Amino acid sequence: MTTAEAYDLLLAHAGASPDPDHPKFAGGFLGMLRPYHALCEHNFHEVMQALRTVAPQLQEPAVDRELISALWGICHFGRAWALEKGSMLQRNDLITEADADRLDEWLSIISYAVTSLLDDSGAEEAFQSYDFYLANARGSGPAPN
């Protein structure tokens, strides 16, 4: 995946693609939550693969606001729509406790990676939780932070 492809994919997963016909706009990471039917683990892995690809950009002295907005949006709206008490998925009993726990783990892994890249901890540290997740049957236990 090229950097440009990863950038576009992250925007689409965040619902911020300039192309409303992009298939990930409605079915991507945030799109799977609204309207909610089920979690799609493939979306999580695409976000992480794209994040690995753009990691060098996040370690530059100046970062792209649009990219940061997409990453922040994935984490913020994922929590606001599905995990917070009184969120639309919680108050309407649309998300199971197991799915909420899994989504919480995914969002923690994504946000830790982004934070680590931005504070210059390095890519190895940034993706440690995700690598642990992959090594342990894709989430059979909590990822370390």
The first and second tokens of residue 8, run together, are 């576009």
- CA–CA separation, 13 and 24 (whole Å): 6
Q: What stretches of 41-83 adopt beta strand conformation (E)?
A: none
- CA–CA separation, 92 and 94 (whole Å): 5
pLDDT at 18: 87
pLDDT at 138: 59
Residues whose CB is less than 8 angstroms from the CB of residue 138 and which lie 6 or more positions away in sequence, other chains included = 41
CA distances from 31 to 61, 77, 144 (A): 31, 11, 27
Through-space distance between the first and last CA atoms of the chain, rounded to whole angstroms: 27
Q: Strand, coil or helix: what is 41?
A: helix
pTM over 0.85: yes
pLDDT at 145: 40
Residues whose CB is less than 8 angstroms from the CB of residue 104 and which lie 6 or more positions away in sequence, other chains included = 79, 83
pLDDT at 141: 45
pLDDT at 36: 93
- Indicate the DSSP class of residue 142: P
pLDDT at 21: 85
pLDDT at 143: 45
- CA–CA separation, 111 and 119 (whole Å): 12
Which parts of the chain sit beneath pLDDT 70? 137-145
